[in-house]
Structure 1
Amino acid sequence: MSTDQRTYQRGRESVKITFIKCNVSSSTITLRYNTGQRVDFVALRDGREVWRWSDDQFFTQATGAVTLRPGECETYTATWDLRNKQGNYVAIDSFQIRGYNVARNFRDKFVSTTIRVTRRERPRPGDECPEGNLLDDPGIERWRNSTTPIVWNGENLFRTTISRSGQYAGELGATHNQPAILSQSANIASGRLYRVTFWARENVQPGRTADFTVEAEIRFYNERGGFVSRVDPVFRPQSIPNNRYQQYSFTTGLIPAGVERGDLRFVFRPRSNNDNTVKIDDVIFECVR
């Protein structure tokens, strides 16, 4: 097992883990598994587990087997964003990364390596903004099931095929009169200016009531996970087109000192008599300067 580096800047870099299991014997072997899971990765600080890769994964519950001929290998990869189980960045320290083959008779055996987490270097005057979208899966295409996205986080959501582009979009308000949220975090830097662009449409039920607001907010957090401030423009039904997508955009202003993470959140707030929903697609979170 290996990592792509030995030292990582917290809030800027992620750990890319590669785990290779090989049959070094002279005979064919068969590895048997209780579920669809084949490996697992764990990060520990002073012997205490702070992150486990499988916590955020979905595995089929069917048993399985893998057969390896002499000299044959299988490669697995994973990425750790240096956040702990609570979603906060880990401390500045050394961490042991363990890789497990979870086959029967191997579940408690592991190989390991050590990494060092350091503070993120502050951008210097004249440094250029990172290029591209800071979000993963901006089109909200990856879903575990009809109500649970894989990359984004959220509640009271529905996977809709009425998208602006791609196959899917996210629909807020699966239960029309209950709050909904769709969110994703990104690493940002103080002193920068960021822009959010997204497409939204109201899904109108003929003859029914539209009574809700949608907030497209960004919450700013420091390196310890403490809340610093937020930007939260509010959109009402009158400003969101019925049954067609429209583009919206806003900027953050200069990011306050000490901020290292921005949590982009679409918050759907209906009243009890609301019958309509809002679809979100093609979200961009980018550095302007």
Structure 2
Amino acid sequence: MVVGIIVVSLALFIRQAHKIGSSNSGTAETEQLNLTSGQFSTSGEGQISKDKVIFNLELTNHLPEVMELPFGSGQQFELVVRDEKNEEVYRYSDGKAFTQALVYKRINPGEALRWQDQWDLRDKKGNVVSPGRYRAEIEILVIPEEDRVKIEDHQLRTTIEFTLPERQQEDTQGNEDKTGQEVGLETPLAASGAKDSRIIPSTEAEAIIANVANAVMQALSTKEAEKIASYVHPVKGVRFTPYTYVDRERDLVFTPNEIRNFFNNQQRYLWGYYDGSGEEIILTPSEYYAKFIYSADFINAEQIGYNQVLSIGNMLENQFEVYDNPIIVEYYFSGFDPAYQGMDWKSLRLVFEESDNEWRLVGIIHNQWTI
């Protein structure tokens, strides 16, 4: 309970620090005026746990029209963390390989592009950093084009200021001394907005859901629609998410009866938008199944995680906020072709919620490396 209170309060503090750090150019009123009158705005927030800081970034479109923003490569943002001496201790792009190609991302009016990054609290030499004040400098790497709307540089940048307290360092070091590796929170906290601050620990979640999850995955692998439908939540149905971020408004939801006819249904639906091109994902359920559900042999997954995030891309993770105290089972492959150096990883997440003392399928989240 004490740990939970500390983490939540730190998360609130880091958001407040961001507001203070972003207001150096003027008063709060001036900042709000710039935000509403500007074409775009960049914002960020962070959450601190024992062994990492998770940064969530957004670029919001304030124009009344759909925009396609060009990026010069697969790297769409840069994030640099500096200490009190202004020395660089972390850079997002270090050690990463990015696709070298022009990429366009579509962003609708009033909506945002989202990314996420995690810093493991180590400096560039691999040492755990000291307690103290830190600053995260964020830049969204939209490239200018002559025939497109010019975006002012300040609209693509923001800064988050935060403090790593003494306890953060001591706990991390203590865990390293005991086990030889860092240890995270045994009971992680749900994102803000969840109905319960406690996420079921991995070992407990596995004991509860392993048999049910395996049965659902087996049915998915063999396209047994009737069996899949028997596990779907009778009221909420099952939501389909093509790329990690769960969109309450746009993700399609199918009832148990609709699942029974899933593979025979020839209607074409709008499931979302392709990463990179921004083109509409218009597919029949069977076509969607092949591309965004059973896109790999997940019944024989390389790793299975229970309420553990095994795959991290550049999209915002929000499944624990959207779903009601869920158990999420992730089936993960780290890659298939060595030539891609892990950039062809894939995973499928099955989301379960408890209903009348039974765990029911409420979400299927597809995840893969995105540009």
Q: TM-score, structure 1 length as denominator?
A: 0.41
Structure with higher strand content = 1
Q: TM-score, structure 2 length as denominator?
A: 0.33
Structure with higher helix content = 2
